Amino acid sequence: MTYVVAICAVLPLLAPEVWSGFRLAMTDPVLAALSQFEQPLSVRSPGGIWAVGLALAWFALAYWRRDFGMWEPALVLIGGAAALARVGNLWVDAAALVLPLARQVGCLRLKPAVLGMVAVVCLAAAGLTLLQTQPPELPPAAVAAVRQAPSTAGNVLASWRWAGELQGRLGSGRAVLASGGPGTEPTDFWLDYLRIGQGHEHWADLLQRLDVDTLVVESEGPQLPAAALVRASPDWRVTYDVGGVLVAERAGP
Amino acid sequence: MTARAASIEHIWIVMTVGAAFMGPASTPIGIPDVLWSLLRGDWMASHGTLLDTDPFTSAPHVAGPLVNVQWLADLAFYGLDALGGLPLVITGTALAVALTYALLLYATISASGHVRLSCLAVWLVYVPAASNLSPRPQTLSYPFFALFILAVARAEWRRDTRWLWLLPPATAVWVNIHGSFFTGFLLLGCAALGRLVATRRVAPARPYLVALGACLLASLLNPYGPGALVYVATIGNNPIIRDFVTEWAPTTVSWHEGIFFFVSLVVLGALMLKSSLRLTAVEILALLAFGYLAWSAVRVIAWWSFLIAPILARLLASVLPNRALGKGRNHPVVNSLLMAGIVVVAGFSLPWTKTLVPFLPAGKQTILAEEMPIRLGEYLRSHGPPPSGNMLNTQKWGGYLEWATWPRHRVFLDGRIELHPAQVWFDYLEIVFPSTRWRTLLDKYDIQYMALATDDSPDLIADVRIDPGWRLDYEDDQAVVFSRSVLSSAGP
């Protein structure tokens, strides 16, 4: 039962990775500007307070009872170090915390009803974290708008959240940039991606350089400036603009 | 009555306080906050009144009178500058730092009862705070916090509550020096709550509660009354400060201070698990409260480091074997000579004498840090502004440029984020990025010339260089100055 409770307790740490993927890496300053999962863990990170709370809970129990094996702090330290290095590594922290937490909770000899209540609270927290970290969805109509674009020679530049999914739905007929995820493109690409999204003076030149003729941007999120520029530009024709998703195709040279 | 012979313990103490002095005394001014502090102090001294507007920046300001909770620090820095220039400002700050660590050492010795381990603990906690000891109002507030720690340590470990009486008058000064005075309240609150939790009775907590109440009343003794408290309570919620000012950013391992913070957590945790000593409820509550604050904002790590010194020393004393704590043989004459040597070395760390030290790194030999745009300041001082319009400057240089060139030139922005509406900051960021609106935004704020850091906005500089509407007036390896080829008729 205590192992079930410990697993429930670490579930909120796994919730963000459901969306971002279970990847072990160090933080990268450019990717960190793209996604909070690529940032080092802080008080504002999704699951950050929960992660520190769990480590603190283990510590409080171990300190109070003075009964712990050396492997316990070692696991807590390894998990904590991985999470501090990058939020997307929280799954490592979750895996590392299960055994130490289970052992300390087990030593408390709590009643099954209390353990059950703790498990329910943890499951609720996991569900909440899952909902809070859910990225915006790419509607099928937006994918259809991309498919209907007449030009197929150039690349598609999509929000990094949708690039992989979009490539899967479009098939090999169209090339979606960065469809392999944040770790698959060089830093220079992501710097240009950020410049385009934030409405840099030379956004149009950057898109030319990347040979992009179709754009799929988050029009109510971090790419709001780019969406505004595309709407106002005579060189782009908006084919879909609903619910925070904008699809546009190149109309001019 | 005979004077006490110099012991090895005395050497440890002198070495600890001396080292705390030498660091800031030998370090050039690198944070521009003190420069606008000097300017405000100068203005207040010459006008004989407090500043309730901001004459130093041209960007639109938030409505209402300016709240300057650090007016006394401004005047103190100005006084030092008037007496001995920037070297005396640096020396005065180093003395405040030395006083901080002297009080902290006394508190740590009071808590642990062991001089050498207390010195070791103070050295260890010096590391995370070392990058936060530059001359600025915040640094002048450290001795006050150290006094609070000392008062609580004396009350907790020596049953000596007399130091608590010093806290209300100290608060009355602190509230006019810097907005960090609330940390003293927090510490007293933790102490009172800890006693309540541990004893389940009010009486043991009463000295802290009385001191806390008196400190709260004393904090009203400032020109703004409760307004100073409101200012402190709201400043951290300013979205621009929270999201764009690096020292208000949450602590992560991206910062070396952050790494030190997390290492300090691991060290404290390991010692707590290994030691047979049980920390008191007061200590645990203080660790939780200040630990959370330090995790929330990088700048709070300095206060965290001060707070943990007595706890660290107590834990070290309980973990190390007695043999390691033993006393060596005393040689009073040698000890006296060693202490004199430390004082002489401290003397060579002063801004006036440090250049005599042959092995001092080149970056430490100046009064102002190399990052300061000194040549740009000289250029602007010798060249007047256009007949109308404003200057756009790289924000990080605002403090230096206003100190070096005001009133001939007026900077657009400096580091006082709260003075300007959020939209001004968003517009500034769009300009230096630059977005497609940078020309429109320059017109909006009637910018007629720009003083820019080459490493901060290379894309904007590249665009301005080829824009026929702008002319390059000045360039060095740090900075460029552009002015309009034809004066823009647009206004704010």
The per-residue pLDDT of chain A, averaged, comes to 91
| Residue B481 DSSP SS3 | strand
Please tell me the predicted confidence (pLDDT) of residue A26. Answer: 87
Q: What residue segments make up the domains of chain A, in order of their start?
A: 2-132, 140-250
Partner A, chain B 250-269, Cβ-Cβ below 8 Å: 250-254, 258, 262, 266, 269
pLDDT tens track for A191-208: 999 999 999 999 999 999
Can you tell me the mean pLDDT for A225-247? 94
Interface with B, mutate which of A26, A194, A201, A231 (most B CBs under 10 A):
A201
Are B277 and B185 within one domain? yes
Residues of chain B with pLDDT under 50: 1-2, 489-492
**Contact at CB, B436 and A229, closer than 8 angstroms:** yes
Residue B368 forms part of a structural domain:
no
Q: Do B436 and A39 touch (CB under 8 A)?
A: no
User: Which pLDDT score, from 0 to 100, does residue B491 have?
Assistant: 40
Q: Which of A134, A157, A162 is nearest to A215 (CA)?
A: A157
Which of B325, B342, B364 finishes a domain?
B325
ipTM of the complex: 0.91
Separation between Cα atoms, residue A234 and residue A237, nearest integer Å? 7
For residue B267, the distance in angstroms to the closest alpha carbon of chain A comes to: 12
CA of A36 to nearest chain B CA: how many angstroms apart? 13
**Taking CB atoms and an 8 Å limit, are B435 and A225 in contact across chains?**
yes
Same domain, B309 and B380: no
Do B291 and B401 reside in the same domain of the chain? Answer: no
Domain count, chain B: 2
pLDDT at position B492: 35
Structural domain boundaries enclosing B440: 374-484
Same domain, B105 and B235: yes
User: How many whole angstroms separate alpha carbon B195 and alpha carbon B206?
Assistant: 9
CB A54 within 8 A of CB A101: yes
Q: Tell me if B172 is assigned to some domain.
A: yes
Work out the minimum CA distance from A168 to partner chain B, whole angstroms: 33
Q: B164-205: per-residue pLDDT in tens?
A: 999 999 999 999 999 999 999 999 999 999 999 999 999 999
Give the pair of three-digit tokens for residue B384. Answer: 């007047």
CB contact under 8 A, A43 and B250: yes
pLDDT at A68 over 50: yes
Inter-chain touch B296–A39, beta carbons under 8 Å: no
pLDDT given at position A23: 84
Q: Which residue has the tokens 């030395």?
A: B98
**In terms of domains, do B303 and B448 share one?**
no
Last residue of a domain, one of B287, B303, B325: B325
d(CA B57, CA B278): 53
Q: How near does any CA of chain B get to the CA of A62, in Å?
A: 8
Answer yes or no: do B250 and A77 touch at CB < 8 A.
no
Same domain, B313 and B399: no
Residue where a domain stops, chosen among B300, B325, B350: B325
Output the pLDDT for position A151: 59
Question: Which of A37, A41, A43 is the best mutation test for B, with the most CBs of B within 10 A?
Answer: A43
Question: How far is the CA of B186 from the CAs of A163, B182, B282, B308, B309, in angstroms?
Answer: 48, 6, 11, 15, 17
At residue B329, φ and ψ (nearest 5 deg) are: -75, 145
